[in-house]
Amino acid sequence: MKKGGPLLYRGKAKSVYLTDNPEEVSVEFRDDITAFDGEKSAVLEDKGVYNAAVSSFFFEYLEIHGVKTHYIHMLDRRTMLVRRLSMIPLEIIVRNIAAGSIVKKYPFTEGQVLKPTVMVIDYKDDARHDPMINDDIIFALGLVTREELLTMRKMALKVNDLLRTYLAGLSISLVDFKMEFGRYRSEILVGDELSMDSMRLWDGKTRDSLDKDVYRFDKGDVRTTYAAVAERITPGALHRFEAEKTVFSGGGQE
Ligand code: 5GP
Domains in the chain, CATH or no CATH each: 7-85+229-248 (3.30.200.20), 86-203 (3.30.470.20)
User: 205: buried, middle or exposed (CB in 10 Å: 19+, 13-18, 0-12)?
Assistant: exposed
Atom of ligand 1 nearest to the CA of 199: 10
Q: 3-state class of 51 per DSSP? A: helix
Atom of ligand 1 nearest to the CA of 99: 3
CA distance 92 to 156: 7
Atom of ligand 1 nearest to the CA of 103: 3
- pLDDT tens digits for range 161-204: 999 999 999 999 999 999 999 999 999 999 999 999 999 999 99
Q: Which amino acid is at 37?
A: D
Task: Choose which residue among 106, 198, 210, 229 to substitute to test ligand 1 binding: the one with the highest number of ligand atoms within 8 A of its C-beta.
Answer: 198
Q: Confidence class of residue 240 from pLDDT cuts 50, 70 and 90? A: confident
Beta pairing, strands 172-179 & 79-83: unpaired
- Which residues partner with 13 through β-bridges? none
> 92 CA distance to ligand 1 centroid (A)?
9
- Summarize the confidence of residues 202-223 as an average pLDDT: 98
Nearest CA to ligand 1 atom 22: 198
Whether the pLDDT of residue 98 is over 50: the answer is: yes
Instruction: Give yes or no for a contact between 85 and 70, defined as CB atoms under 8 angstroms apart.
Output: yes
Residue whose C-alpha is closest to residue 80's, from 15, 33, 32: 15
Average pLDDT score over the chain? 94
Atom of ligand 1 nearest to the CA of 200: 10
CA angle 218, 227, 19 (to 5 degrees): 110
Nearest CA to ligand 1 atom 16: 178
Q: 3-state class of 162 per DSSP? A: helix
Nearest 10 degrees: Cα torsion 95, 157, 66, 202:
20
> What predicted TM-score, i.e. pTM, was given to this entire model?
0.93
Nearest CA to ligand 1 atom 15: 178
> 229 CA distance to ligand 1 centroid (A)?
18
Whether the pLDDT of residue 2 is over 70: the answer is: no
CA angle 22, 192, 231 (to 5 degrees): 120
Res 1: pLDDT: 47
103-112: Cβ within 8 A, 24+ apart: 111/207
Instruction: Give yes or no for a contact between 57 and 48, defined as CB atoms under 8 angstroms apart.
Output: no
Res 238: pLDDT: 79
Residue whose C-alpha is closest to residue 35's, from 229, 219, 202: 219
> 72 CA distance to ligand 1 centroid (A)?
25
> 83 CA distance to ligand 1 centroid (A)?
23
> Residues with beta carbon inside 6 Å of ligand 1?
91, 93, 100-101, 130, 176-178, 197-200, 212
CA distance 197 to 191: 14
Nearest CA to ligand 1 atom 2: 101
Residue whose C-alpha is closest to residue 210's, from 227, 189, 191: 227
How many CB atoms lie under 10 A from the CB of residue 243?
8
Higher pLDDT, 240 or 32: 32
- pLDDT tens digits for range 16-58: 999 999 999 999 999 999 999 889 999 999 999 999 999 999 9
- Which residues partner with 43 through β-bridges? 32
- pLDDT tens digits for range 116-133: 999 999 999 999 999 999
